[in-house]
């Protein structure tokens, strides 16, 4: 039984060489601590401008401006008693010189093929692959 609806944004960031940025979440994070993920924000209000949030979070989490290349189809998944609605985006940054905020402990640039080697949250690999168009 679904008790509540939750909204989130996930932004896959790539560099000029089409490498994917993975961020290791801080052990203090409530959702998916110590797991590798992408830029994100949750919980959000249903009516927020998700693309603006994606741009803001890229700047906040990486210290760089990002260009949104495209948005993906909303992902809806049940986690516990919450129905999550995740709005995915693909962004590109011009520099590999990342300045992490305290939400993450490290980062790596990886190929799509290497995603399987990382402990990713549910649906993350599928989301990244869909956004990259393959």
Domain of 13, in residue numbers: 4-131
Answer whether residue 134 shows pLDDT above 70: no
Question: For residue 21, what is the domain's CATH number?
Answer: 3.90.79.10
As a whole number of angstroms, the distance between CA 106 and CA 70 comes to 26
Residue 102's φ and ψ, nearest 5 degrees, are -80, 0
Give the whole-number percent of the chain exceeding pLDDT 70. Answer: 99
Is the Cβ–Cβ distance between 37 and 113 less than 8 Å? no
Contacts of 43 (CB under 8 A, 6+ apart): 6, 7, 8
Q: What is the pLDDT of residues 84-106, one digit of tens each?
A: 999 999 999 999 889 999 999 99
pTM for this model (two decimals): 0.94
Task: Count up the domains in the chain and report the number.
Answer: 1
């Amino acid at each position: 039984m679904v008790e509540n609806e939750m909204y989130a944004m996930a932004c896959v960031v790539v560099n000029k060489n089409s490498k994917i940025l993975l961020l290791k979440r801080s052990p203090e994070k409530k959702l998916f601590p110590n797991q590798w993920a992408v830029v994100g924000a949750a919980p959000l209000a249903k009516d927020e401008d998700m693309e603006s949030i994606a741009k803001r979070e890229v700047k906040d989490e990486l210290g760089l401006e990002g260009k949104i290349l495209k948005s993906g189809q909303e992902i809806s998944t049940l986690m516990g008693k919450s129905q999550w609605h995740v709005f995915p985006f693909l962004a590109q940054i011009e520099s590999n010189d990342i300045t992490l905020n305290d939400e993450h402990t490290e980062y790596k640039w990886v190929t799509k093929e290497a995603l399987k080697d990382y402990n990713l949250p549910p649906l993350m690999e599928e989301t990244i692959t869909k956004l990259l168009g393959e």
